[in-house]
Amino acid sequence: DAVHFVEIDMMSEYGLSVYTHETTHVNDRIVYLGGYKHREGTYVEAYAQGMLQSPAEEGHQGEYGALGLNMAYMRPNDGDQWYNPDPTKLQTRQQIDHYMKGYNEALMLLDYLEGERVLAKKDLALKKAWFSKMTKQMR
């Protein structure tokens, strides 16, 4: 464990995003994961950067778009970043839970449909390029 000091404008979009990122680190094991540790092979950034940090459009995040739970910004979703556009609509734990379950189900459905489409092709090289054996790599 370590303490890192960062100087940034907390009132900027990027500053708010960093705040939600660091708050996730503080709460991930106790609040989000119910006291359990991260999944084996998953580094702590998987939750903070990958899902629970409010996505910013400026800074390094704007380069690749983001999936995430927006709990900081009121902005229309332009389609480049996939998240809820209005954090005030998620008022309770049950609402957040319902939203995130639907969010993950939609992603899994898209993965399924994509996989079915590739499997229907007769191109063996395409299938080999698309699907590969997953191996655990500790990060």
The residues annotated with a catalytic role in the active site are 22
Q: Is the dihedral of CA 75, 76, 77, 78 positive or negative?
A: negative
- Cα gap 10→17, rounded to integer Å: 9
